[in-house]
Each structure stands twice: as structure tokens, then as C-alpha cells.
A and B are shown apart, each in its own frame.
Chain A
């Protein structure tokens, strides 16, 4: 099946610094990617929808100036957590939609990134 790669898989950063997470679709073009946050034992919470070549659409309650999303190409979207604080520590997962005719808009997930802010 299609592959979505997410990097880094885990990162530790100091409070107040920024950290960037990359999401790549390896064998298909993804005009739309999604960023989720998942706390332990909870469901996936959609943060924003990333559209190639345009501004991301953020879900209610998600600070767009804190969680910067860039989708500059059809295979890469990045999430930058700016001025990170300990409460930002979480599991962040991206997904990408394969919009090809054969795929039928199937969604594939990246491996996820564990962020720990100390």
C-alpha cells in the first residue's frame, strides 16, 4: 500500500524552542494532508488540514500561530510547534490523502512523532 513517512519519530526539546515535524507521501501525490494530535488513551484530534499551495485550515481551538503548517509541495507537509511548552508534549500524527482514481481518496497515516518538551 501507499506509504507516508513522518520524521522525526521522537524529539525532545527545551521549553521555548521550536520543533519541526515532516510528513512525506513517498509514492503518491497528496494535495491534502492532515495533522492530528493524540494524547495517551485518547482518540486522534484533528488539528488542521494542510492543502498544497494554500493556507492550512485549522480546527477550532488550535492556535495557527503556534502550530505552523506548510505544504509547499505535493509530497511534503511540515508542522512547526513554536515556542513549545511542556503541555505541547504529545504524539503528533500526519495523514495524507491519495487522490488518485484507483485509490478512492484513501487516507494513509505517518508513523507519528513523539514530542517531549522539557
Chain B
């Protein structure tokens, strides 16, 4: 069974700091891995999708990497801002690359002014 773990569960940083969020998964037979952002009381917003043939994707100040062999993905946020405060979740395919996406429990990020 695919398991997705995100560490740490919560992170507090001062504004301007560069930071890394971690996501690990147990079954490397995935088609892609996706990072999301969730604001309180809201739905999830897709940030980056990394296909299995890619090693990284970039969007603005965000960079996500994927290492299938080690079962890890990282989300790098450059020059963090208070508006980046949210919960960040990653999701990977189910066991054997099934359609049943499995989510991590998220990392709650607080960026202090």
C-alpha cells in the first residue's frame, strides 16, 4: 500500500527565508507527484505537477524535485513571504501507479513578518 509522509508537520520561519518541504513515498512506481496548497477553509490549489520522466518543475519562487529511486520529493520556496502561509500537501499515485491518489497529511507553514 502506498504511503505518503510529510515532515515536518509544521514549520515557522521569518519572512525572506528560503525553505524546503519534504515528501516521501513508499512505492516508486508512480506516474507523477503533485504539490498542493490549502488555505484555511478552502479547497486545494495545484502548485506543481512533476511527471515521472522529469526531475523537477519550477513556477516562480517554487521549485519541486522528484527522486523516484529514493522515494522523495522536495518543494523549495525561495524568499518566503507572509502570503505563503498555508498548508502544503503532496500526493502520489496509489500502489503500482493506480488511479487512487494518496495524499500526505501536509506541512503547515507560517511565515512571520
Do A and B come together as binding partners? Answer: no
